[in-house]
A and B are shown apart, each in its own frame.
Chain A
Amino acid sequence: MNWKDFESNVRETLEIEDNVIIDKNELLEDSEYWSSMHALLIMALAESEYNISITGEELRNSKTLQDLYNLFESKLS
């Protein structure tokens, strides 16, 4: 997994337009592309695209997109 692929998958999953610059250190709760529903989509992405399972606790502890990337990477390694 690399950041570029991850960002691309997240962009597609959360329907973030191409012209929007993603700041991986922005707090998710401050993003207009983040809500409880978006969190579920990230869980679905993990299961169906990466074949990894993320718990609710792990997702709640992820504050930024970088945290999510680190979480995915740790699960895959």
Chain B
Amino acid sequence: MAIFNIPNIRINGISSVVPQKKVANRDYDYVTETERNFLIKTTGIEEKRHAEKGITTTDLGEKAAKILLEKLNWEREDIDILVLVTQSRDYYLPSSAIILQDRLGLPSSCMAFDIGLGCSGYVYGLSVISQFLQNGQLKKGLLICGDVSTISTNYEDKSTYPLFGDAATATAVSFEEGADGIPFNLENDGKGFDAIIIRDGGAKNQLNDETTLVKNYGPGINHTAKDLELNGLDVFSFSVKEPPKNILQLIESSNYTKDEIDYFIFHQANKLIIETIRKKLKIGPEKVPFSLTKYGNTSSASIPLTICDQLSVDSKDKKMLFCGFGVGLSWGSCIINTKDIVCLTPIEF
């Protein structure tokens, strides 16, 4: 079981950046008005942000990192590690994190690499960067999380297009001797690898003449093999089953109680999933903030974006449980003590 505790870590601050362009689901005319209203009511997603063509996670993440560094008065040369969690990197290779290292003016001594995870990525990314920082040999790190998922959603696919939005976030993490440990519980299940998938463009199915053909996969579900494909029933079934178990394991193993947790920040998949998890865990709604109403499902950015959007004025000295779950299938949770964290309200790109 991947349950472990990482000591000596402080989360110093979080920032988030979303594209300026708003796309409202009430204008999604690919489905009927009745279906549209039902979709908005069930998913809770009223609008989301779409990046303009050519704007990438790297661009959004660069801006998020710059405003955070400025707010924290962190010097570039003090950053020892940069981790970028994304599934929409700029190029097939190299890693976008290395491009970001240069664009942010970070020294070449700052190690930088990508992690290819989606909705569970914030929790996984925190665990990775914290592992590097926990013994004090590296002192300061930046975790950038986000995706421009909308480049992979087909307008004629009602199972994906209304759900996803674009965003990137930056989280400043540092070594602090004696700081509370962060307990993690990380899991995955490759049997569900094709529940959320982009089939073509990787090494297994390279781009070919068929890749860009739009095919029908059911009522209202048309997409190509380079578009995001989502099996809603299987994803829902997984999402309401595994994350609650993972959370209860984490709470029990780390000697917390549910009452001690001030906020449960769930990946913003959709309202029905989060509400079902919340009810299963018997948590009050006041402890479960939402940002999906305005931003949709923003992949690995959704947890930090929710904190920035909903808790920026009530984020200090709180115990927060983060739980990410999705593509992989991959899921995980952790509990942090926010102390004097700086959370900046989302800004536009």
Contact = CB atoms under 8 A, between A and B. Distances in A.
Contacts of A59: 233, 237
Contact of A53 (B35, B240, B275): B240
Interface stretch (A1-9, A31-39, A69-77): A31-39
A40 B232 contact: yes
Nearest to B270: A40
A39 B233 contact: yes
Contacts of A60: 233
A48 interface: yes
B38 interface: yes
B157 to A, nearest CB: 12
Nearest to B276: A44
Given A47-B276, A48-B276, A40 B234 contact: no
B272 interface: yes
B42 A41 contact: yes
Nearest to B240: A47
Nearest to A56: B233
Given A36-B159, A37-B39, A44 B240 contact: yes
B233 A41 contact: no
B132 interface: no
B236 A43 contact: yes
B233 A48 contact: no
Contact of A44 (B35, B218, B272): B272
B42 A56 contact: no
Interface residues of B, number: 21
A19 to B, nearest CB: 18
A73 to B, nearest CB: 19
B231 A40 contact: no
A54 B279 CA distance: 16
Given A37-B38, A48-B279, A56 B272 contact: no
A38 to B, nearest CB: 8
> What DSSP secondary structure best describes chain A's contact surface?
helix
Contacts of B236: 40, 43-44, 56
B280 interface: yes
A40 B240 CA distance: 11
Contacts of A37: 35, 38-39, 42
B316 interface: no
A55 interface: yes
A39 to B, nearest CB: 6
B223 to A, nearest CB: 15
A53 B241 contact: yes
Given A37-B42, A40-B42, A53-B237, A48 B280 contact: yes
Most central of B42, B231, B275 by chain A CB within 10 Å = B42
A12 to B, nearest CB: 14
A56 B233 CA distance: 5
A55 B39 contact: no
A15 to B, nearest CB: 9
A56 B237 CA distance: 6
A54 B237 contact: yes
Given A41-B272, A47-B241, A53-B240, 17 more contacts: A36-B218, A36-B232, A37-B39, A37-B42, A39-B233, A40-B232, A41-B42, A43-B236, A44-B240, A44-B272, A44-B275, A47-B276, A47-B279, A47-B280, A48-B280, A56-B237, A59-B233
Interface of A: 35-37, 39-41, 43-44, 47-48, 51, 53-57, 59-60
